[in-house]
Structures are given as C-alpha cells and as structure tokens.
C-alpha cells in the first residue's frame, strides 16, 4: 500500500502499533484524524504525553494511581486482611464492578510467560511477599486468568507464599451462572464436578 | 467505570472518540500505552500533530498529498482525459491496487448525507465542475459507494455535469467475481440481470 503522504504513513504506522489494530483499521483511523479540527488532534496527542508523564503506580498494590498510595489502599472502609492478586487494572475494575469484594488488591502487571520473555522478576512479586509478612494480611486470593500462563503464575506465587503464615486461596472456577451445561467446555465442566461443594453453601452464597 | 487516575480517564476518552473504538477497547489501548517507553509514546503523539500540521490536499484532485499537486495529477504517464470521482483516499488506494485504471482521480471528501448535515457545498464539487470544462477531460467515471447516499451523490453529480461536453459513466455493479449466485443479495442479482452485457465484451474484459 503506497500512501501519497509520508506524514499519513507515519500516523498509520503509529496506529498500527496498537494491539488489535491492523493496517486497514489504522488507515481508517488516520484518515479520520485528518478530518478533525486542529485543536481536537492536539488534545488527542496531549492526552498520551500527559498520561505517561503524570500517572504513577501505587507503592502498596502497584495499581495505576495519581497519588503515591491509591484510593483503595488508603481507604479505611476496606478489609485490610485480604489481598486479591490480579494481572492488571482491568481485573481490578472487573472485580470492583461485582461489588462482592471489599479487601485490598495487588496488581502484578502481567503473568509469567517465558514465550514473551516475561519472568517472575518482571512482575510486581517481591512487594507481594513483603505485604504477606506485614502482620495485617491473613488471606491472599489468587485471581489470575484461567489460561496456562495464569495457572503457572498462580502456582509460582503459591509456592513463594508457602513459608508465610497466610492462607492462599484462588477464585472459584466452574460453570458460569446462566450457562447451559451442554454448551460448557469440557475442561470447565470437569473441574466443576471435581470441585463440587455442599449445596447449602451454594445457597448461602447466592443470598 | 471509575478509573483510579484522571490522566488514564482522559486517555481512555480520547481513544473512545475514534470511530469503532468502544469504552472497553479504549481502556485496553490506554493501559497498553502506559506500558510503553516514554519515547515511544512521544513518537505516537507527535505523529498526529505532524500529520495535521503538514498534510495538504492536492489543488487538482483534492486527494491527500505532501505537495501542492499530487503524484498522480503531476504524472505524465496517466491518461488525463478520464477522471474517476471517489469519496476518499481509501477508494483511490483500492482502485490503484487493481492496476486496471490509468486515468486521474477526483476526491470528493465524502458523500451527500443530509442526516449527517453534509450537503453538496461541503464536498469538493465546484473543483470537479471546473475540471470538467478544462478541455482535456473527455470522461468522468462516478465511483461512489453503492449505498443510498452514494447513489444520490452520483445522481447529483450526473445532473451537474449534464451541461458540459463530457461523458459521464459509472462503475459496473453486479455479481462479484468468485461469488455464487445463490448467495448474492437479490438487489445486486436483479441489477446484474437488468444490466446484462454481450458475452463477447465480458471475455475481452477478462483478457
């Protein structure tokens, strides 16, 4: 694809670096940008420079924050004895959305993935081990993705947390609420049979 | 969705202004940006400022260009007696890709769309009428989208071009090459029967 302008080419290439945006979409977005007012384009550009300059990470949990300690970590209304370990900000938002959890979080910044060259040292793990020994923490809930990499990361963290006097749990995996059995994949269905639980506990959790 | 940083919120909102990018994708992209090196983010921002500052439109055809007259309009190898009218740059690229057309282009910058408040005055039409009378132009090929708006724009241009001594044609509509008849929509199939052509001409076009 030969573009009639090197500036347009540059803009297309930049959009193309974003995850999930291919050449064709990148071109559509760049042409769209060109049709915008100068001030709008400047506001667009500025947002990303400002993001990179100003956003910091909470010293406690590693989540994105504008302050040194994030709102959740500094809140007096959260249960400080439970820490839920997640991969990134989006997982925090998803769990917060359920309104079923009032503990703290710990954001790893990804999962262990040798294929992508991400080892334990690249993740926010040392800080988690420090927090596990702070005397306040009683339970650590591992809530990584249900993928191969997520599972290995769970296992790595579980091993690392063994020496400390904290309970390590993991979020329940099973048939999603509202799902029909026949359409559930066999691995999920298999696990949910193996990990069956007393019926009474399923009722009390619903209420 | 309450984000833990106003800078992140701003970046998400900016991504969200792009066509086809919803809140969830915008958040994914903004989190991705945050994970990048400072220099990369700056290069990203700069590309759009530079795009808006430097790109101009060809004085002849209205296509995006870094020069006053674009490469196609200034080429001596193009057939200057035919002008193909399209909506935007992407259509030029698509037609150039076919390597079946060696004439000039005229980029309207969109189509007439009263619903979006786009009238004939917002498009690059006056310039087309001037070009139609320049003595060089023998044929004008209308190649707008096969939508309601594209068809109305085609008709508007056809009427406007009537007074001048140019042939006005339109690109062929019909069953796409490789398509099976039973899966072709009825409007297309209907049109392609009404506009049937001598078999000999279909052979000579293929060769």
Mutate to test the interface with B, among A52, A60, A75, A93 (most CBs of B within 10 A): A52
Partner residue opposite B47 with nearest CB, options A14, A43, A70: A14
pLDDT over threshold 50, residue A206: no
The residue among B149 and B188 whose pLDDT is bigger is B149
Task: Return d(Cα B45, Cα B39) in angstroms, integer.
Answer: 10
Task: Render the burial of B93-130: b for 16+ CB within 10 Å, e for the rest.
Answer: bebbeeeebebbbbbbbbbbbeeeebeeeebbbebbee
Interface-testing mutation among B21, B28, B44, with chain A (most A C-beta atoms within 10 A): B44
Tokens of B188: 């297309």
List chain A domain ranges. 6-54, 80-171, 177-207
The DSSP letter of residue B113 is: B
- CATH for A80-171 is 3.40.1360.10
pLDDT at A1 (0 to 100): 61
The alpha carbon of residue B82 is apart from the nearest alpha carbon of chain A, in Å, by: 20
CATH number of A6-54: 1.10.8.420
Please, how many CA atoms are within 13 Å of residue B158, restricted to the half-sphere of its CB?
13
Would you say residue B206 has pLDDT above 60? no
Among B5, B14, B19, the residue with its CB nearest the CB of A65 is: B5
Cβ within 8 Å of residue B92, ≥6 positions away: A4, B63, B72, B86, B105, B107
Phi/psi at B68 (5° precision): -65, -40
Q: Is B9 on the interface with A (CB under 8 A)?
A: no
Which chain B residues are closer than 8 Å to A78 by Cβ? Answer: none
Phi then psi for B199, rounded to 5 degrees? -55, -35
A chain contacts of residue B86, beta-carbon cutoff 8 Å:
none
pLDDT surpasses 90 at B34: no
CA distance B92 to chain A (A): 10
Fold agreement between B6-54 and B78-171: no
Q: In the structure, what pLDDT confidence band is assigned to residue B207 with cuts at 50, 70 and 90?
A: very low
Contacts with B49 from chain A: Cβ below 8 Å: 41-42, 45
Contact: B50, A19; criterion CB under 8 Å: no
Rounded Cα distance between A82 and A138, Å, is: 6
Asked whether the predicted pLDDT for residue B205 surpasses 70, the reply is: no
A164-199 pLDDT per residue, tens: 999 998 888 787 877 777 777 888 887 777 777 776
Token duo for residue A8: 């347009």
Which pLDDT score is estimated for B62?
93
pLDDT attached to residue A130? 95
Residue pair B25/B15 in contact by the 8 Å Cβ criterion: yes
* CATH 3.40.50.720 applies to domain B78-171: no
Q: How confident is the model at residue A202 (pLDDT cuts 50, 70, 90)?
A: low
Nearest Cα of chain A lies from the Cα of B47 at a distance, in angstroms, of: 5
Band of the pLDDT at A25, cuts 50, 70, 90? very high
pLDDT value of residue A201: 67
Angle at B198 between CA B197 and CA B202, to 5 degrees: 80
Q: Which band of pLDDT confidence, cut at 50, 70 and 90, is reported for residue B11?
A: very high
Statement: residue B17 has pLDDT above 90: yes
Lowest mean pLDDT among B69-78, B119-128, B184-193: B184-193
pLDDT of res. B203: 63
Provide mean pLDDT across the span A85-110.
Answer: 90
Inter-chain CB proximity B49 and A41 less than 8 Å? yes
Q: Please name the residues in contact with A117: beta carbons below 8 A apart, sequence gap of 6 or more.
A: none
CA angle B13, B16, B17 (to 5 degrees): 95
* Spatial distance between the Cα atoms of B91 and B105, rounded to a whole number of angstroms: 10
């Amino acid at each position: 694809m030969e573009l009639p302008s090197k500036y347009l080419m540059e803009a297309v290439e930049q959009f193309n670096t974003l995850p999930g945006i291919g050449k064709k979409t990148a071109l559509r977005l760049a042409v769209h940008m060109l049709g915008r007012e100068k001030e709008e384009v400047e506001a667009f550009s500025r947002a990303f420079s400002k993001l990179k300059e100003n956003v910091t990470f909470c010293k406690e949990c590693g989540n994105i924050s504008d302050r040194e300690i994030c709102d959740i970590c500094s809140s007096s209304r959260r249960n400080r004895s439970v820490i839920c370990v997640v991969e990134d900000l989006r997982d925090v938002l998803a769990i917060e959305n359920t309104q079923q959890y009032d503990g703290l979080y710990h954001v790893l910044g990804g999962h262990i993935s040798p294929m992508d060259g991400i080892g334990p040292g690249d993740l926010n793990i040392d800080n988690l081990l420090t927090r596990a020994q702070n005397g306040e923490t009683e339970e650590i809930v591992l809530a990584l993705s249900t993928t191969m990499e997520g599972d290995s990361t769970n296992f790595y963290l579980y091993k690392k947390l063994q020496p400390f006097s904290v309970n390590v749990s993991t979020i329940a995996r099973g048939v999603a609420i509202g799902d029909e059995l026949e359409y559930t994949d066999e691995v999920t269905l298999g696990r949910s049979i193996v990990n069956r639980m007393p019926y009474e506990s399923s009722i009390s959790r619903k209420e």
